[in-house]
């Protein structure tokens, strides 16, 4: 539905230098899906979104919606933002304070170049207010609404023009933590129910994992990995993604040999001993690599378990966190974080065994380790 190809957008900075805010960004979003741009502050998420909206003029690339170009450097096309018919909600969504809820949502229709009749405006506004669960507040002053309600009002206002594409830039980041989580569910429900093709921008990895059909992780203006939330979390392809999305243990390693029986399995020598690991990349014996293992994928036991991928360690510290416990276990020179069920309770200084499923030990080639800096 939306297709972004080789998008580059630059800004001049104060010193007259060029900031490459979006570099060779390409992705496709199918009809009705929610696609997220995830990354730390300054990585180019807003620039990419504003380029799609037409609020920035890119340097090069192509953006098409339903096969029709809204921007193309090759064909010299630039459709004005108000002609693109996209709905947008920003972090600092502005509610018109002198208007009530109904008027806020009706406003875009009233100023639109297409003339809407009074009855049509009424029908459309009430339909979107029902969709966001604010129909009973139509007459209320906008400023008398709670933060979450104002957020939904901003969304209703973006939806009333029935946009082809919805662009959301950190729309929940001004809400407190509890409300943010509730709005997350509401947003997801609404997006699915209305089948809205949506680009969502956030620096919050748990928000991205919870909401998205697909995530593009960005670093320094580039997409460094694109995939389903599960792909991104369970099969990070470089160090930046493994580190930015969730918590992980990193182990330095050297490849010994492919593990014969299973494709994409390798035997490595790591800083905690010999391990069997998984990777979608190819390796040769002697190659340097990095292993990423999530703390919840490190099992602990008092007795030595059977099989491979077992290491012996000593409990350094432990922290009770309610639904789970975090153990820091020293293995050789390395401290490993293990997140286990609170029923596993041993004292600090005890000897424990770590066991890691080879499928959960993700092997990243050396050249992908520092890609973020490139």
Ligand X SMILES: Nc1ncnc2c1ncn2[C@@H]1O[C@H](COP(=O)(O)OP(=O)(O)O)[C@@H](O)[C@H]1O
Residues that bind ligand X (CB under 6 A): 11, 13, 19, 21, 39, 41-47
Using alpha carbons, select from 194, 191, 144, 193 the residue that is nearest to residue 172.
Answer: 191
Question: Whole-angstrom distance between the N-terminal and C-terminal Cα of the chain?
Answer: 31
Please say whether the beta carbons of 71 and 78 come within 8 A: yes
> What is the smallest separation between the CB atom of 45 and Mg ion, expressed in angstroms?
5
- Return contacts of 135-143, CB within 8 angstroms, 24+ apart: 137/101, 138/100, 138/101, 138/102, 139/100, 139/101, 139/102, 140/100, 140/101, 141/97, 141/100, 141/101, 142/95, 142/96, 142/97, 142/99, 142/100, 142/101, 142/104, 143/95, 143/97
Q: Contact region for Mg ion (CB under 5 A) — 42-50, 103-111, 241-249, 289-297?
A: 42-50
SS (H, E, C) 161-200: CCCCEEEEECCCCCCCHHHHHHHHHHHHHHHHHHCCCEEE
Q: Smaller CB distance to ligand X: residue 42 or 148?
A: 42
> What is the smallest separation between the CB atom of 274 and ligand X, expressed in angstroms?
41
Q: What would the x/- binding string for Mg ion be over residues 187 to 216, using CB under 5 A?
A: ------------------------------
Please say whether the beta carbons of 283 and 289 come within 8 A: yes
**Phi–psi pair at 46, nearest 5 degrees:** -65, -40
> What is the smallest separation between the CB atom of 210 and ligand X, expressed in angstroms?
19
- Chosen from ligand X, Mg ion, none, partner binding at 19 (C-beta under 5 to 8 Å by type): ligand X
- Chosen from ligand X, Mg ion, none, partner binding at 319 (C-beta under 5 to 8 Å by type): none
Q: β-strand 325-331 against 68-72: which pairing, if any?
A: unpaired
**Phi–psi pair at 234, nearest 5 degrees:** -90, -25
Q: Smaller CB distance to Mg ion: residue 198 or 309?
A: 198
> What is the smallest separation between the CB atom of 21 and ligand X, expressed in angstroms?
3
Under the binding rule (CB under 5 A), the answer on residue 51 touching Mg ion is: no
Tokens 């064909």 found at: 75
Please say whether the beta carbons of 277 and 325 come within 8 A: no
> What is the smallest separation between the CB atom of 18 and Mg ion, expressed in angstroms?
19
> What is the smallest separation between the CB atom of 93 and ligand X, expressed in angstroms?
16
> What is the smallest separation between the CB atom of 37 and ligand X, expressed in angstroms?
8
The one among 9, 36, 46, 191 contacting Mg ion by CB under 5 A:
46
Q: How many residues bind Mg ion (CB under 5 A)?
A: 1
Q: Smaller CB distance to Mg ion: residue 48 or 151?
A: 48
Q: Contact region for Mg ion (CB under 5 A) — 40-48, 248-256, 299-307, 315-323?
A: 40-48
DSSP letter for 146, please.
-
Q: Smaller CB distance to ligand X: residue 11 or 185?
A: 11
**Separation between Cα atoms, residue 43 and residue 232, nearest integer Å:** 17
Q: Smaller CB distance to ligand X: residue 172 or 352?
A: 172
Using alpha carbons, select from 65, 61, 57 the residue that is nearest to residue 7.
Answer: 61
Q: Smaller CB distance to Mg ion: residue 49 or 362?
A: 49
Q: Contact region for Mg ion (CB under 5 A) — 25-33, 39-47, 56-64, 264-272?
A: 39-47
Q: Which residues of this chain interact with Mg ion, rule CB under 5 A?
A: 46
């Amino acid at each position: 539905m939306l297709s972004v190809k080789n998008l580059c957008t630059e800004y001049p900075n104060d010193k007259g230098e060029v900031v490459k805010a979006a570099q060779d960004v390409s992705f496709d979003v199918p009809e009705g899906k929610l696609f997220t741009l995830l990354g730390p502050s300054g990585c180019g998420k807003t620039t990419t979104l504003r380029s799609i909206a037409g609020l920035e003029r890119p340097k090069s690339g192509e953006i098409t919606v339903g096969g029709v170009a809204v921007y193309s450097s090759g064909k010299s096309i630039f459709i004005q933002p108000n002609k693109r018919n996209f709905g947008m909600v920003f972090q600092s969504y502005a509610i018109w304070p002198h208007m009530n809820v109904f008027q806020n949502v009706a406003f875009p229709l009233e100023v639109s170049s297409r003339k809407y009749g009074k009855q049509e405006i009424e029908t459309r506004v009430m339909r979107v207010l029902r969709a966001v669960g604010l129909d009973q507040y139509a007459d209320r002053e906008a400023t008398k609404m709670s933060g979450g309600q104002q957020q939904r009002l901003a969304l209703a206002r973006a939806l009333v023009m029935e946009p082809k594409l919805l662009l959301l830039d950190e729309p929940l980041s001004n809400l407190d933590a509890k409300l943010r989580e509730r709005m997350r569910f509401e947003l997801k429900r609404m997006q699915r129910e209305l089948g809205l093709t949506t680009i969502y921008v956030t620096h919050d990895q748990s928000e991205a994992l919870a909401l998205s059909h697909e995530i593009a992780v960005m670093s320094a203006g580039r997409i460094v990995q694109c995939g389903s939330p599960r792909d991104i979390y369970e099969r990070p392809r470089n160090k930046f993604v493994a580190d930015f999305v969730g918590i992980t243990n990193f182990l330095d390693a050297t490849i010994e040999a492919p593990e014969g029986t299973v494709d994409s399995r390798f035997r490595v020598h790591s800083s905690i001993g010999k391990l069997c690991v998984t990777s979608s990349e190819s390796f040769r014996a002697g190659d340097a690599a990095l292993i990423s293992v999530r703390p919840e994928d490190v099992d602990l036991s008092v007795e030595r378990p059977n099989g491979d991928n077992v290491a012996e360690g000593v409990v350094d510290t432990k922290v009770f966190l309610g639904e789970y416990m975090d153990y820091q276990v020293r293995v050789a020179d390395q401290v490993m974080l293990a997140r286990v069920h609170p029923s596993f309770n041993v004292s600090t200084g005890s000897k424990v065994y770590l066991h890691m499923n080879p499928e959960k030990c993700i092997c990243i080639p050396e050249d992908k380790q520092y890609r973020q800096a490139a």
